[in-house]
Amino acid sequence: MPTTIFGIIIGIAMLIYAIITVTRQDPGAVITLTGMYLNYPAFLIVFGGTMASTLIAHPMSHLVRGFEAFFAVFVRKDFAWLELIDDICAFSQTNTQKGMAGIEARLSMYRKPTLLRDGLTMIVNGYKLEEVEQFLNISVERRYDLEQIDSQVFRTMGRVAPAFGFLGTVVGLIYMLRVMGETPERIGPFLAMALVSTFYGLILAHMIFNPMGNKLQHQAELNYRIGRMEMDGVRYIVKKMHPLYIKDQLSGYLPPRQRAVLMRETPGSV
């Protein structure tokens, strides 16, 4: 509720401030290429209104998570599928040869923060396989739900940004029509503001917000697949499956290119 009220107040305040700022534009200002496309009131209406509307639709924590995910996209590396399969095979061989003591020793050197590590740590601590699978399943589903939120936040922005672009256009046209008969020389700035608002709304929606929402949705589905793969890996390790069997079973999770590499590196693999 607080973020809903806060979003409404901020949205109205930004709109009023932008409207006031529009009336102070100087019609005699020198026009430059940058100046034609940089319009402060238009940007305030579109971007500020979009953020305010998103705050009304989502809690602040969702907005923060969304932008954290946005910036993480630029530094995220490709997932090492084959490395994970090699780790699972190595743990399975260790369990076959040395038992739980060997897995515990190997875990002490395994620093990767993965569900595989969490599951094996629980096994070493005495949990039953069924209990570990239940825990991992909840973890995978919970992570997927949270990552869906990131995608939904940007899709909300993508839906409302063009609407606020149109709102900025309406504001500019209202002022343009108001001064048309009195001071025609002032029509230009208001018309420019009207068109630039639509421009900002379209650019933000279809070049940033919607594509980023799709990107985060894809990442959520990818992490879900990785989590399921790690769950299967824990099961195969506990059951001491042969590495060739593990590779055959887990190859179905791999992207086509990674699967082709696995087949070349593992003779006899499907």
- Please report the pLDDT score of residue 114 as a whole number: 87
Rounded to 5°, angle at Cα 158 from 157 and 159 = 90
The arithmetic mean of pLDDT across residues 119-128, rounded, is 93
Count of beta carbons in the 10 Å neighbourhood of residue 257 = 9
Residue 114 phi/psi, 5-degree rounding, is -120, 165
Question: How does pLDDT run across 182-208, given as a tens digit for each residue?
Answer: 666 667 777 777 888 888 899 899 888
Give the residue among 25, 5, 36, 14 at the shortest CA–CA distance from 190: 25
- Kindly state the average pLDDT of the residues 41-58: 87
* Closest C-alpha to 166, from 193, 146, 206: 193
CB contact at 8 A, 147 and 219: yes
The whole-number pLDDT of residue 260 equals 84
Q: Which residue carries 């001064």 as its tokens?
A: 179
pLDDT at residue 257 tops 50: yes
What's the mean pLDDT in 213-225?
A: 93
Residue 73 contacts residue 215 (beta carbons within 8 Å): yes
pLDDT at 136: 94
Mean pLDDT, the chain, whole residue set? 84
Averaged pLDDT for residues 12-33: 58
CA distance 2 to 13: 16
For the record, the structure tokens of 162 come out as: 């063009």
Instruction: Using the Cα atoms of residue 265, residue 266, residue 267 and residue 270 in order, give the sign of their dihedral.
Output: negative
Residue 111 has a pLDDT of 84
At residue 197, the 3 state secondary structure works out as helix
